Structure 1
Amino acid sequence: MAMVDIHRADPTRIFVTGLSAGGAMTSVMLASYPELFAGGAIIAGLPYGSASTIPQALEAMRGAAAFSAEDMGDRVRHASDHDGPWPRISIWHGSADATVSSTNADAILAQWLTVHGLEPAPDASEQIAGHRRRAWNDAAGHPLVEDYRIANMGHGTPLATTGPEACGMEMPHMLEAGISSTRRMASSWGLLDAGTERKFAQSLGKAQKGAAGLPVSRISRLEEWPGEPPRPKASGKAGVEKVIHDALRAAGLMR
């Protein structure tokens, strides 16, 4: 709230997103401080409350344990005194992710559908550039929860480096997928002016019938999961383990 007060930021336009460990941190931020965020995007992350020790966190990365949707939702509801309204949620995960199992995306989805009081069946389901998108909407038709599963993509953030969605460049954990998560988040959250929105809608209409306009936005991005090249700079086993421990503590996954 200090940043809102100092810079007179619009509190209804504050969002958070992160990849991998940053996705786990995003889950923590959205559950612990839901009143501060209009929404957030969890990319290849973990659901809130999935681990309290290092072994549990590493096990969660390999695959989400059996869960009750109601229990997952309670973990968020009990994380703060907040009783709604809840942040809008965007979930992104590659189907070929060998670092963080996509079963975690299933758990995140169940967690937030329960928190929002939404039914399991989506209001919309479509294929975009070969990837599945599902959405659960509010009464006005705006998505409260979106779930993107990126076909054949490994561990990273999906990019479109060419075409009307072009945004960013390929590098470790920034992966060409023919779809830009950044543009689509920004479009869904209404973070760009109408002129830019129309421009992208017109461009996409020519290239991909039925796709939504995708404006660019500046969105805060949290750190990737440590221990993967080229992130860790510490040498030796102890150094890498320290990086992992520090990141898990920062994500609220261990004390």
Structure 2
Amino acid sequence: MSIWHGTADYTVAYRNLMESMEQWTDVHSADQVADATETVNGATHKTYSDSAGTPVVETWSIPGMGHGQPIDPGTGAGQCGVAAPYILDVNVCAAAHITHFWGIS
């Protein structure tokens, strides 16, 4: 499960990031302490693993982002999208990171 949230989202309360993480780690029998944390282009990325050590939930917190889909326009590796209403240029391409997390890219 990949959960994304902007800190400036006034449509969906930011606390839903943690509540969703708690729900999905419970579904996957993973604890709620991140096994890895990194910063990617200013966004905080955390992964939560099951008892076998397989990452099953990830969260992305994007400072200053409102309600929309995160993109990073360009043609480079890991870039995607064209900015538009609710398609937000925050220098992180959610689609690229999600497909990587799911193991399909």
Q: Do both share a fold (TM > 0.5)?
A: yes
1:136, 1:182 → 2: CA distance? Answer: 19
1:166 aligns to 2:79 (yes or no): yes
Q: More strand per residue: 1 or 2?
A: 2
Deviation at 1:142, TM superposition (A): 3.4
**1:189 maps to which residue?**
102
What one-letter code is carried by the residue in structure 1 that aligns with 2:95? T
**1:147 maps to which residue?**
59
Deviation at 1:111, TM superposition (A): 0.8
What one-letter code is carried by the residue in structure 1 that aligns with 2:92? I
Q: How does 1:208-247 map to 2 (within 5 A)?
A: none
Identity %: 36
Q: Deviations over 1:212-231 (max 9, x none)?
A: xxxxxxxxxxxxxxxxxxxx
Counterpart of 1:99 in 2: which secondary structure?
A: coil
Deviation at 1:135, TM superposition (A): 0.3
Counterpart of 1:182 in 2: which secondary structure?
A: helix
Deviation at 1:185, TM superposition (A): 0.6
What one-letter code is carried by the residue in structure 2 that aligns with 1:159? I
1:191, 1:109 → 2: CA distance? Answer: 22
Quick one: which of 72, 82, 89 aligns to 1:176? 89
Q: Which has the higher contact order (CA 8 A, sep 6+)?
A: 2
What one-letter code is carried by the residue in structure 2 that aligns with 1:107? E
**1:106 maps to which residue?**
18
Say how many residue pairs are matched. 103
5+ unaligned residues in a row in structure 1: which ranges?
1-88, 193-255
What one-letter code is carried by the residue in structure 1 that aligns with 2:10? A
What one-letter code is carried by the residue in structure 2 that aligns with 1:174? I
2:63, 2:77 → 1: CA distance? Answer: 20
1:123 aligns to 2:35 (yes or no): yes
Deviation at 1:189, TM superposition (A): 1.0
**1:95 maps to which residue?**
7
Deviation at 1:107, TM superposition (A): 1.1
5+ unaligned residues in a row in structure 2: which ranges?
none
Q: TM-score, normalised by structure 2?
A: 0.90
Divergent runs of 4+, >6 A = none
Structural RMSD (CA): 1.3
Q: More helix per residue: 1 or 2?
A: 1
Q: Deviations over 1:116-149 (max 9, x none)?
A: 222221110111111101101242x432000100
Give the number of the structure whose alpha-carbon radius of gyration is greater: 1
